[in-house]
Structure 1
Amino acid sequence: MSTAQVATDSGRMPRQIRYIIGNEACERFSFYGMRNILVPFLISSVLLGYLPAGPDREGAAKDIFHSFVIGVYFFPLLGGWLSDRYFGKYNTVLWFSLVYCAGHACLALFENNASGFYTGLFLIALGSGGIKPLVVSFCGDQFDQTNKDKAKLVFDAFYWIINFGSFFASLLAPLFLRHYGPAVAFGIPGVLMFIATFVFWLGRRQYVNVPPSANDPHGFMKVVRSALAWRAGGGNTGGIVARGALVLAPAMLLGWAGHAMAGWPTWWPESFGFVITACLALGVIIAGGGIGASLQLDRARGAHPDAAVDGVRAVLRILIVFALVTPFWSLFDQKASTWIIQGREMVIPHGAWWWPSWLIQDAAQMQALNPLLVMLLIPFNNLVLYPALRRMGFQVTALRRMGWGIAISGVSWIVAGVLQLWIDGGDQVSITWQALPYLLLTFGEVLVSATALEFAYSQAPMAMKGVIMAFWYLTSTFGSLWVLLTNAGLRNDAVTAAIANTGLSENAFLMFFFAGFAFLAAAAFAAYARRYPMQDHYRVAGAG
């Protein structure tokens, strides 16, 4: 395929957009279809048959699920890098999509084989993560100055189609698993992913293909390296911090390897597996490098334009905001693990005249509420809530929306914890009660997720917007890391004894714990937001 740009129809909607939208619809169904049945499948599968039924097996299923989520939101770094430096967006999306298809095939073929099934999860994480940062930006590449007014319509359609696909996948995939078994339940999303890849390939001769960018001498990492460069005469505190992080991160991995590969006693906690250790090591590098660079960033002036240096400082400020958002994702992603496990203990009111028993038959289907509510809440917020608050004198800023979103997600987990107390007390609790925490969590999601991209885009200079997107995906990775760390803590006898002394079950205790975690994060977010220096880096009208 030629990498030359294809001319767009002046002022018109690009014809090739239909292939990208079709691809997105099928891909989102395939992803959420397999993701939303992963925990219930693992709990009942032979893959975890070596564990007794109950908390041990449920905990292992949660560990696998959140390790998978960590991979999905880590691999965008790889996909974005390969696309920008070597292969371009079209080739990278196509090749990672084929990897994605292979992963789905493994899930369908190896339902009783741990090695084959987990290989499939890895390939899906690699494929899904690899294309995640590219499809939307590839769609944007199809527009130019003559038809950019059509781009908003397409991006709105993108967000709508994501939730449309997620809604039907969440609704139907648990039924496929219940009535036709895992081979069919995982196979159907695989077929949809193959169709997605084929539809994307069909448009190959019509796409605008922006070639990979040249190595920017004033890019984010180049400026950071210049700032951290060692200089004679002292004043290298930032460099010491960054180099200390580069020493500590490998030491953490060696500590894990000593336990796992050689059976040696090391300083590193044995309950921290590879995924936890690798994520913590990555976090240490990001934190150490960021703190170190911020301490002596002005050293990069002269070697780089002031605009590039100021852009890096803007990114470092945004990273603090992103770090404070990670607790939200630890709550949000557990709707597909902890909340499904809770729902399995609840009663589905099949006897009620108003309950659609022909459709809703499984606790995992309650996840369909999330995309349905997203499609309803976004227009409600924009057309009703925000204008009403403005008329009352409240400034609905992006940072305030995000802070309230984190706090409201904590409230959703308070409600879930109360439901768990009812269950633990022996009450027959209807699963319809889960609609309330789903509503609150989704409201929090709309306030946090939809707002964060707008906020980051406005705060980062044009040259740094790609870097910001990569770091945004990592917030979900670290959100699931918090869950894995909590689960690791539950394997400590002292921790479980302390929970038992509260009189609460582990499930109820963890729900209130995560609610408190969100409230603490919301308070820290609000404190930082008060002194955050807002910027405005939207493109000047008429600029290319």
Structure 2
Amino acid sequence: MQETQDPVITSVKPKSRFPKSVPYIIGNEAAERFSFYGMRSVLTLFLVNQFFNPTDNPALTDQANAHANKLHHLFVMVAYALPFVGGMIADWFTGKYKLILYVSIIYCIGHVMLATFDGGLSGFELGLLVVAIGAGGIKSCVSANVGDQFDATNQDLLSKVYGWFYFSINAGSMISTVAIPWTYEHFGPKWAFGIPGILMALATIIFFSGRKKYVKVPPQGVNRNNLVFITWYALTHGSQRKKGEAFLDVAKQNFDPERVEGVKAVYRVMMVFFFALAFWAVWDQCLSEWTLYAEKMDRVVNVGFAKFTIYPGQLSTFNTIFLLMFIPLFNYVIYPWFDKRGIKTTPLRRLGTGLVLTALSFVIIGVIHTSLDHGGSPSIWWQVLAFLVLSAAEVLVSITGLEYAYTHSPKSMKSTMTGIWFLVVSFGNLITAVVNGLIEGGGWWATALKGANYEWFFVGFILVFVVIFFIVSPRMKERNYITDPVIDGEVAANTNSL
């Protein structure tokens, strides 16, 4: 009798599919980033030429430039301070979809005001504030909304969709920083600010069109187990702290102990973020101060078969190009090369190196500005070189900072850490705005930071952070939540030397 065998039953896992909502989110992000970076590419130049020094009076140059730079950095400060607030409002009260939609409409109104009030400073400043509220209000929700669209059946596609999300950001900013400065030169400020408004309206329409396809996570209500409430409780109940207890441990009697430990992790990461403050105090100057220097440089480029002029606002395009080159170069070539030779490219080492490169990029700009002060007309390729060095620094500082925030904070605090990272960007721009405000006011600051002394001041500013970083970093306590185990339910802090 021939034996029969039961057929082997194999289950084939169905192929993962992207959610149908993804194209709407990607399209929305590309158009929104076009609007944001497009208007910024000509903002400082426009403020100087239209309001603060329209006659190009040499006696007014320093104060006019300082006033324009101050407004630009205050704008960025507001835009990057609000993601923390917007994220909380969405999580607690409105949900991400409603907040993104309603604030995007406000965003559009701000762009309309910029294009309408290009001849009046008060109206234009109000438009800047409204745009900053719009850009900042939705910033923390848009990227989180991407993750909300995925579930257990397609989690494997999440890294790919964030790759496309990042691509859309860079595509939008790259196209806008080429197109809008050209528009400004040939068609004036109304179109230069109007086109970004049209793109923001398009972004809103694209987002609204996908309304029936989104996974909409409802608001969760006010969550008391967060950094603000736990820190406030610890501050107001310090007298109840037992001997030997850490500052925040007293909050465990009224809050989830795991969340309290998470807040401790947040403060440890914030110590590292403090040093990134030096980077963000200067990075946005490549979109403000640097455009003013570029206007006076030799911007005619001869590449043999063609000869053309680069407009000042177009130079920031090089930052995007260099970033797209450097991210794979550092991840797949430079970091592995050092690691194989026993020089571990730890996050702290990357951050320290990035700060040194940031200072070097400002040395280059300082040399350029010194030449301009003496009547020279240096080639625009020197500023391209500065962008190259600053872009390498951005990979080492900005991307490393985001990675550090993710790996060194518990799951419950990762959104909080993203909001705090944006606050660091905000505070960095506040520092630059204050410095420019002091120059604008005249007196000692205006004399001390006249001309190229401005750059040398920031070189010294960064180097102070570098020196302190190399002294403090070997003593920093770190806790990697991806690789380090939890010991007895508590956070195990270990010291990794630089």
1:495 aligns with 2:445: yes
> Hey, what's the Cα distance between the residues in 2 that align with 1:539 and 1:530?
20
Matches within 5 A, 1:14-413: 14-46=19-51, 53-230=60-237, 296-349=247-300, 352-354=302-304, 357-358=307-308, 360-413=309-362
Runs of 4+ residues over 6 Å off in structure 1? 233-236
Between stretches 518-527 and 154-163, larger displacement belongs to 518-527
Q: Distance in 1 between matches of 2:417 and 2:303?
A: 50
The count of residues paired between Structure 1 and Structure 2 equals 467
Distance 2:221 2:289 in 1: 45
Question: Could you tell me whether the CA contact under 8 Å between 1:51 and 1:57 is conserved in 2?
Answer: no
Check 1:213–1:492 CA distance in 2 against 1; reply closer, same or farther (3 A cut).
same
Three-state SS of the structure 1 residue aligned to 2:163 is helix
1:460 aligns with 2:406: no
3-state SS, counterpart of residue 452 of structure 2: helix
Offset from partner CA, 1:18-39 (integer Å, 9 cap, x none): 0000000111111100011101
Which position in structure 2 is the counterpart of 1:245? Answer: none
Q: Please tell me whether the aligned partners of residues 459 and 535 of structure 1 are also in contact (alpha carbons under 8 angstroms).
A: yes
The answer to which of 170-179 and 462-471 deviates more is: 462-471
The verdict on how the C-alpha distance between 1:180 and 1:149 changes in structure 2, with shifts beyond 3 A counting, is: same
Cα drift, residue 205 of structure 1: 0.5
CA contact (8 A) 1:62 1:337 kept: yes
Indicate how the Cα distance of structure 1 residues 410 and 232 shifts in structure 2: closer, same or farther if over 3 A, else same: closer
Q: Deviations over 1:218-260 (max 9, x none)?
A: 2222322221224668999xxxxxxxxxxxxxxxxxxxxxxxx
Moved more, 119-128 or 399-408: 399-408
Going from structure 1 to structure 2, the CA distance change for 1:526 and 1:355 (only over 3 Å counts) comes to farther
Letter in 2 for 1:26: A
**Residues 16 and 73 (structure 1), Cα distance of their counterparts in 2 relative to 1, 3 Å cut:** same
Displacement, 1:216? 2.6
Counterpart Cα distance in 2 of 1:469 and 1:438: 26
From the superposition, tell whether residues 539 and 39 of structure 1 become closer, same or farther in structure 2 (CA, over 3 Å). same
Q: Say whether residues 1:529 and 2:473 are aligned partners.
A: yes
TM-superposed deviation, 1:82 = 1.3
> How far did residue 47 of structure 1 move?
6.4
Q: Is the 8 A contact 2:99 2:138 kept in 1?
A: yes
The 3 A distance-change label for structure 1 pair 81 and 447 is: same
Match of 1:520 in 2: 464
User: What is the aligned partner in structure 2 of residue 270 from structure 1?
Assistant: none
SS of match in other structure, 1:317: helix
3-state SS of paired residue (1:430): coil
1:56–1:16: structure 2 CA closer, same or farther, 3 Å change rule? same
- How far apart are the structure 1 equivalents of 2:69 and 2:198? 26
For 2:262 and 2:303, how far apart are their aligned partners in 1?
Answer: 59
Q: Which residue of 2 aligns with 1:278?
A: none
| Secondary structure class of the residue paired with 1:36 | helix
CA deviations 1:493-541 (Å, max 9, x no partner) are: 2334455xxxxxx23111111112112212223333212222232499x
What is the alpha-carbon distance in structure 1 between the residues aligned to residue 346 and residue 239 of structure 2? 45
8 Å Cα contact 1:142/1:207 also seen in 2: yes
Between the aligned partners of 1:421 and 1:48, the Cα distance in structure 2 is: 21
Deviation, structure 1 residue 77: 2.3
Deviation digits for residues 321-378 of structure 1 (CA, Å, limit 9, x no counterpart): 112211101111001111111111211225x3548545x4312211110011111110
Q: Which moved more, 1:461-470 or 1:49-58?
A: 49-58
User: Which residue type is aligned with residue 367 of structure 2?
Assistant: V
Partner Cα separation in structure 1 for residue 235 and residue 363 of structure 2: 44
The answer to whether the Cα contact below 8 Å between 1:47 and 1:114 also exists between their aligned partners in 2 is no
1:109 Cα deviation after fit: 1.1
**Paired residue type of 2:195:** I
Alpha carbons of structure 1 residues 225 and 424: separation in structure 2 relative to 1, 3 Å: closer
Contact 2:114 2:128 in 1 (8 A): yes
CA distance in 2, matches of 1:51, 1:469: 42
Q: Given the two structures, how large is their TM-score scaled by the length of structure 2?
A: 0.89
Q: RMSD of the TM alignment (CA)? A: 2.3
Residues 154-212 of structure 1 show CA distances to partners (whole Å, capped at 9, x for unaligned) of 11111122112111111111100000011111111111101110001111001001111
Return the alpha-carbon distance in structure 2 between the equivalents of residues 433 and 50 of structure 1. Answer: 28
Structure 2 distance, partners of 1:24, 1:35, is 16
Distance 1:47 1:516, change over 3 A: closer
Measured in 1, the distance between the counterparts of 2:380 and 2:329 equals 26
Q: CA 1:388–1:233 in structure 2 vs 1: closer, same or farther (change >3 Å)?
A: closer
Q: For 2:232, what is the secondary structure of its paired residue?
A: helix
Is this contact kept in 2: 1:163–1:374, CA < 8 A? Answer: no
SS in 2 for 1:189: helix
Report if the CA contact (8 A) 2:357-2:393 is conserved: yes
**Alpha-carbon separation, structure 1, partners of 2:278 and 2:90:** 30
Say if 2:95 and 2:219, in contact at 8 Å, map to a contact too: yes
What amino acid is the match of 1:19?
Y
Contact 2:44 2:289 in 1 (8 A): no
Give me the TM-score of the superposition, normalised by structure 1. Answer: 0.82
Matches within 5 A, 1:414-433: 414-433=363-382
